[in-house]
Structure 1
């Protein structure tokens, strides 16, 4: 997607505990950690979509509203690795693939069919700043979920709906841009030719 070359685009590894925003919207000063702490972003930089405070991983930023609208349009795949409570079953995976009923502001919503599968190898992410409960409290497993939609806390709501609540959530890919070996808090400037 070609855009005005005066615009800047970034990929960051959003750490756990940060909000996907630059301004404290009426929250107590210093109570929340914001993206501006990670890098000196140019004025007008916005997060493309959100990762909630407890989620980590790949977050794209841009100064170009058109790029943001395109990536949030529902045409672009976003892949997440979720560590869930319990050993996720083939039945639960099938339900995730076919779509499950979740709720938003009191309304019911059926998720679109998506790609989902259980990971055979545990992904090697950096240790999280807030520890996840250990296996003494029962097994955990990892699942990959790839969505084109992006409702608020959607992956968490989906895994809960099939009986396996999410303990840790990391976005690893937006279209062709991958988290790969980025370090927590790392910021990379992107060439506009590499944007989805």
Structure 2
């Protein structure tokens, strides 16, 4: 009886992991993606996540992607600025290319992350970030070089929000007045 129960739990876990992987495979990649063309300053226009507690409007922490930089070795570095409880700071997050063009992976304290450049015309950008720790969390971001939304890219982004049943969050762009990250 206990052996049957253990087998059932393994089956459920296996199906759950297969479902999580299928979701990642459903996320498209930009055909012909050129990392160097996304370098520079970006503004976050829209943000959505698969877990509502990550996008709570009552959370005092305000996080914003400031810019993207591509290293000579092909790594992509994201400069994130944050502000909360009277403190302002920055963090560099670097991800490494995978065998799939437009997909990158890296790690953070307690887990791994995968970044996919879903689509871009290099003026607008849809980015998918998958955090893998105790849970698997998807974060979708609509970015632009300026603060105006392009209706075509907004429509694409909202299509993903609906398809993946995401919860949107308020957006905060930090103006870069924080001290540089260490």
TM-score (norm 1): 0.28
The higher-RCO structure (CA 8 Å, 6+ apart) is 1
Answer 1 or 2: which has greater strand percent: 2
TM-score (norm 2): 0.29
Higher helix proportion, which one?
Answer: 2
